[in-house]
Amino acid sequence: MPRELTPAQRAERSLQTKYRKEIWNPFIGAVKEYALLQPEDSVAACVSGGKDSFLNAKLLQMLQRHSDIPFQVKFLCMDPGYTEENRRLIAQNAERLAIPLEFFETNIYDYVAKQPGSPCYLCARMRRGYLYKEAQARGCNKIALGHHFSDVIETTLMSMLYGAQIQTMPPKLRSKNFPGLALIRPLYQVHEDSILAWRRYNDLTFIQCGCRFTEGCDACEGARTSSKRKEIKLLIRQLKQTHPDVEKCIFQSTQNVRLDTMLGYVSHGVEHRFLEEWP
């Protein structure tokens, strides 16, 4: 009689079989193409509680078992002040997926709630700072976040349409404030639709948003950003009806920049204008 698989085993098998083409192969492709992992790396896989960060953690866990590149991975979850319900769901999902998740506590939500103005910018900076500090304290030289291909495309369009700049989300980034620490995005080539399909197939439920503020604050920066991202998602969906490869084209455009045709650009913090080429 066939042995019944645990939820974690079923999730892993689905990544290697049913979703191999849509998730596993693009994940491996990004790791190799962008040289995200080097021998003896110690990676902090940061889990926020959502589908993306949990999938990212599971893929790194699987890769560690089978990779020719020896690396270590530590699974961290920063609790900025989650509700008991969200904290419990995160812990349950970690157990269900057999991810040895380690929580560490902060008082970010309580602190930010007392500050004037929009809480979102300060909250985001504090969350990133705490993650970097904790990862470094645990001997990690890289932080792995769950941003995926769709995030890259949406961020690129948002920066153009709402930020008046051409800027994208790179697959890896050196920290300016924490020397020797880098951020990597192993899901860089994985589409969000594939992640959603994997979640449904494995009957998984993740937290949507653990933020205390955006749930009840339509006027704050986080809510506006979320709203704009939804607009961009809808725009892309509409464009795909007549141009199925529009996401691929947007992605390729970030690797095919013709600086000679740009009116201006910024490199290493220095602004350049096209008139520099003229006498």
How confident is the model over 84-137, as pLDDT tens digits?
A: 999 999 999 999 999 999 999 998 887 887 777 677 778 888 888 899 999 999
Angle at 124 between CA 123 and CA 128, to 5 degrees: 115
**What is the token pair recorded at 213?**
């503020």
What kind and span of H or E run contains 133?
Answer: helix 120-137
pLDDT of the residue at 218: 46
pLDDT of the residue at 100: 97
Domain boundaries, the chain: 7-258
**What is the token pair recorded at 225?**
């950003």
pLDDT of the residue at 225: 61
Extended strands (E) in 34-89: 42-46, 72-79
Residues 126 and 108 sit within 8 Å (Cβ to Cβ): yes
Can you give the pTM of this predicted structure? 0.90
55 pLDDT tier (thresholds 50, 70, 90): very high
**Cα–Cα distances in angstroms (integers) from residue 214 to residues 70, 107, 109, 123, 222, in the given order:** 41, 17, 12, 11, 6
pLDDT of the residue at 219: 45
pLDDT of the residue at 110: 79
First to last CA, the chain: 82
pLDDT of the residue at 212: 60
Mean pLDDT computed over 40-56? 96
CATH 3.40.50.620 fits 7-258, yes or no: yes
pLDDT, tens only, 195-241 = 999 999 999 999 876 666 555 444 444 555 668 889 999 999 999 99
Distance of alpha carbon 195 from its chain centroid, rounded? Answer: 12
Least confidently predicted of 9-18, 28-37, 110-119 = 110-119
Share of the chain above pLDDT 70, in %: 92
Residues 9 and 17 sit within 8 Å (Cβ to Cβ): no
**Cα–Cα distances in angstroms (integers) from residue 68 to residues 58, 64, 171, in the given order:** 18, 9, 21
**Cα–Cα distances in angstroms (integers) from residue 219 to residues 60, 123, 232, 240, in the given order:** 37, 16, 19, 31
- The residue among 174 and 268 whose pLDDT is bigger is 174
State the residue for tokens 């096209």.
Answer: 274
